Structures are given as C-alpha cells and as structure tokens.
Structure 1
Amino acid sequence: MPPRLSPTVRQQRLGIELRKMRERVGVTPKNLAATIGTDLPKISQMENGKSGISAERLRIWARTCDCPDGPYLDALLAMTQDRRKYWWDGFRGRMPGAIVDIAEMEHHAESLSILNTTFIPGLLQTPAYAAAVFERLPPQMRQDAPVRAEFRLRRQRIFVDCPKPYCAILHESSLRMQFGGPDVQREQLIALLEKSEQPGLDIRVIPFSVPNYRGSNESSLYLARGPVPELDTVQIDLSNGPKFVHAEAELATYRRIKEEATAIALGAEESRDFIRALAKDFS
C-alpha cells in the first residue's frame, strides 16, 4: 500500500511509540528492518504514522526492542488492529484534520478531563452557544462554520454512544464570557446544570476568589487518558489550531496542572449552586 499522505494523530502516535521503543534500546532502523523483513523507507514510514504495521510485525518489533508483553504492548496491538471507518472520517477534507482528530482522541480515551478558562468546552455547548462561538472565528475560517457546528454537535453524542468519565473544570471567566448575548449565555448555564446531573459527568468551577494557579494561563487543556499512562494525550488550543502533546515530560506537567486545578475547584454541589446563581444574573 502507498504511504498515507495525512496520518491521523492516532496513527502518528503509534509511530511515535514504535520509534521510542526502538531508540530506548539503541536498535538501528537497518537492523530492525532486517529483523521484521522490510526495508529502511518502510521503517521510516511506520515511525511517522504513514504506514501501518501488522500485529505479527509489532510483536517482533517489541521482542527485538526488549519490550515485554503486558498492558502497554496490548494497547499498541489494539491500535494496529482497529481499521474501521468511524463517523468523523466523513468530515475529513471538509475541515482541518487536526480538529477531526479531537473526535478520534475522545472516542478512544478511557476518560476525559478538561480545564477551560475562556469558554464552555465543545462537548457541553448548546447549539446557539456553538454558533455564536463560530461567528467569532477569523474571516478565513468562518466559511466552514456550519460544518464545524455540525461536527461539534455530533461529537456530543459520545455521552450516549460511547459514555466514559468526563470532568470539566471551568474558571468563572468562562462562565461569564458572553457568546451570543445574555439569553444564549443563560441557556448555556442551565444546560450545564442539567448535564452536571448526568452519571459520569463532573462539572466543577474555579471562582475568581481563588488566587492565581498553574494553568490559569491555559485557555483550554484537554487530557485524554489512554488504556495505559504511556498513551495519555493532551490537546491544547493554539491560535493556529489544536496541538496534541505526547512527550512524557510535558504530559507529566499537564497532569499536575489538572490535578492542582481539581484540588482548588469547588465541589460538585457547590459548583452547581454557583452556576445556578450566575444564571440568574443573566435573566
């Protein structure tokens, strides 16, 4: 098969793990190519996510790199065997691939947690709020706003189709930032209250009264827990689009930020009371 032109973040992640596995023990691409029965260009394509790897070859790769059997290898094997088409694949080519990759990340995560300081997370947005957010996109991005809105609302079906623990830590500024005016904001806050009652959904608030904390300068920090900690992913929003973080040192930093934010946030019931009182301000 020809190399993939645009590998998804998940495909790239498998390649990253293959390269890390090889480099950890100092095996050269040439030696690995000879061991698994391929050539140097193919090894490069596998490590860049541009070419898949069979389960059999992955097991040989792991043995050659002294990677033992266990949960980590099982998770990588599962990634090689999943070749289904998913709903988000229908959006590829219609909008930036990195945005589509967020849905892929969410689907395969064991649990999700997000820290937002400027807006309500996409999985919790009402249609009116989402439309108002997209109205503020730069002109060159606004032309595909209807597709982005459709995609965002489709992502929200994860709570029904593929439910998993989801925690949203929302700074008070994100609850007060008005997208679409006071009526839209009030509707959004009421929707948050309703969602906070759903099993598996944990919505917490960090009020302005809390002193500065690590992570307060992050507009959005999204942590997707993998089947093993080595396969966790963090997605952050940048001005030019989403960025996915896989490096262990960075993951450790973002995990600490999330833990600290959770520790200083109001409890679940206090957060509901806070949101309920704030909704009245927009009446």
Structure 2
Amino acid sequence: MVRVKLPPTIRQRRLGGELRRLRERADLSATNAGKLFGTTQSRISNIEAGGYAVSADRVRALARLYDCTDEPLIDALAAMTGGRTRGWWEEYREILSSGALDLAEVEHHARAVRVASVIHVPGLLQTTDHARAVVGDVVPPLAPYQVEHRVSHRIKRQAILYGDHPTPFVAVIHEAALRMGFGGPKVARAQLKNLIERSEEPHIQVRIIPFGAGTFPSAGHGIDQFSGPLAQLDTIQLDSDHGSVFLDAQSQLDKYRTVLDRMESCALPPGESRDLIHRVEKSL
C-alpha cells in the first residue's frame, strides 16, 4: 500500500507563516537560520510552508533563535504544534474543495467568530432547506449528490455553536438578506424564525443593518473574522464566487477589523434587530 502524504492543514500553514515572520524580523535568511539551528535551508523552508510537523519544543527553540521575547505569542504558537487535526471535515477531503475544509478547521479552532453578510444569511445560521436552496443555484449547476455534500458540510460546521462551550458568534446581516426569499416563502419564513431563535441564545448576537442605514464598506462580499488566542493570530476570510480567501497579514487584519467595526456600527442593537426580523417574517 502506498501512503499518500496529506497536504498541510491551514493551521499548520499558519504556524509556519508565523515562524517565517519571526525569522524575517530577526533579519535572518532561511539558509543562515538553518545553519544556526543545525539543519538545512530546505528544512526551515518546509517548516515555514507547513509541510514539516514541528514539536512545541522546536517552536520554542526557533523563537529563541529569532530573539522573540513575546511569551504569550510563543505559548500560542507552541499550542498549534502536533500532527494533522483529524476533524470531521477530513471525510470531505476528496469531495469538497480545500477551501471548504480550511474554513471548517479555522472555525473549529477559533476563540470567537464575527461575520458580516449582505445578501446571504451566514452559513452558521442557515437551515438545511435554506442552505440547499442557495447551494443548488450555483453556476455551473451541481449534481444532486454534490449539493447534498455541500449542505451536510455546512450544517456540520454549525456544531461550534452548540455544546457545553459554544463559540461566541456575532453576525452582522443586511436587511436585504432577510428579504431574498431563497427557496420560496415557506423556506424563507422557517429561516427567519430560526434566525430569531438562535439570536436569543446568550453566545449568539445578530445585528441587522436596515435599509436606509446609508453607505458602509465592503457591501459586495461576506467577511468572517476568526479570533485566535492572540489578536495577531486572528484570521480573516473573504467569501467570493471563486471560493474562500484567507488573510492573516497584520495590515489585512487591521483593515478588515475596521471594516467589520464600521459595518457593526451601522447595525441595529440585538433587540431591535430581532424585532425587524419578526416584521420581515410576518410580511412573507
């Protein structure tokens, strides 16, 4: 039997990227870092690409080599080590895109999640029928079994909002998404009722940007913020027709945190948002 090497997970790639940033701040080339660490340039490069698993001790040793004295950051990076996380999403590896698996993994490890969406109810709050209506209308069209794979993956992602320690979740949604009517009136009403019910849970906050709120940034696509153990280890995801784009450079994190803050400032408070959802649901 030939064992196929699995590609690095997004968590492994992020750990490698953070180690690369530490090396670059120390003004060391990969070649020099390898010599000082007693290894090769290719091994350092493989670590930074997420292709070579490293232990917590090795991460701490590299941090010392790079003169990093930020102990909370070192501890957080050390906690990201180990083998590949064999999460439930691995069963979709040969079925869905790597971006879909990356999204599930990032959500699983996030300390908190904040999303903003204009046209769609966020996937973590969608009903099965709503998700099926949305996924079933993509271009090019999917076969029925492909639709069901994507729907089941989306619903399983919602597990982070359940259990004894659910992930804190903030959803900023434009009123337009409430009125899209995906799947017809029956499906749309059930989706809005689900949105109301979920918004009443203590760890879930739904904020609605009403029509007439004026302009706000990034109205054209969805934005997700996944909080890491430290702010500098956050991840931003941009949702587009061609798939997920993950960002983690500090300038990108700063930009999209500001965008999300501004979008949230345009939204109604949670109670008023719930009232608006009620009114839209009754009008269907």
TM-score, reference length from structure 1: 0.94
* Partner Cα distance (1:85, 1:250) in 2: 29
Is this contact kept in 2: 1:3–1:51, CA < 8 A? no
Alignment pair present for 1:148 and 2:150: yes
Displacement over 3 Å in runs of 4+:
2-5, 81-84, 140-143
* Partner Cα distance (1:254, 1:141) in 2: 32
Cα distance change, pair 209–69 in 1 and its aligned pair in 2 (3 A):
closer
1:150 deviates by: 0.8
What SS does structure 1 have at the residue aligned with 2:162? helix
Aligned residue pairs, count: 280
Match of 2:254 among 252, 255, 263: 252
Structure 1 residue ranges without an equivalent (≥5): none
1:232 deviates by: 0.4
* Partner Cα distance (2:57, 2:269) in 1: 48
Q: Give 1:124's aligned residue.
A: 125
**Percent identity for Structure 1 against Structure 2:** 39
Q: Give 2:92's aligned residue.
A: 91
Is this contact kept in 2: 1:106–1:224, CA < 8 A? yes
Is this contact kept in 2: 1:19–1:47, CA < 8 A? yes
Alignment pair present for 1:38 and 2:39: yes
Is this contact kept in 2: 1:223–1:235, CA < 8 A? yes
* Partner Cα distance (1:141, 1:76) in 2: 39
In the alignment, residue 267 of structure 1 is paired with which amino acid?
A: P
* Partner Cα distance (1:67, 1:164) in 2: 30
In the alignment, residue 281 of structure 1 is paired with which amino acid?
A: S
Is this contact kept in 2: 1:9–1:98, CA < 8 A? no
In the alignment, residue 30 of structure 1 is paired with which amino acid?
A: T
* Partner Cα distance (1:101, 1:36) in 2: 31
Cα distance change, pair 169–4 in 1 and its aligned pair in 2 (3 A):
same
Q: Give 1:270's aligned residue.
A: 272
In the alignment, residue 174 of structure 2 is paired with which amino acid?
A: H
Match of 1:187 among 185, 190, 197: 190
Deviation sequence 1:212-251 (CA, Å, 0-9, x none): 111223x210000110011000011122110001111111
* Partner Cα distance (1:167, 1:281) in 2: 25
1:263 deviates by: 1.5
Structure 2 residue ranges without an equivalent (≥5): none
1:35 deviates by: 2.7
* Partner Cα distance (2:76, 2:218) in 1: 30
Q: Give 1:70's aligned residue.
A: 71
Cα distance change, pair 101–261 in 1 and its aligned pair in 2 (3 A):
same
Between 67-76 and 12-21, the greater mean CA deviation after superposition: 67-76
Cα distance change, pair 166–269 in 1 and its aligned pair in 2 (3 A):
same
* Partner Cα distance (1:56, 1:3) in 2: 27
* Partner Cα distance (1:140, 1:49) in 2: 34
In the alignment, residue 196 of structure 1 is paired with which amino acid?
A: S
Is this contact kept in 2: 1:117–1:216, CA < 8 A? yes
In the alignment, residue 27 of structure 2 is paired with which amino acid?
A: G
TM-score, reference length from structure 2: 0.94
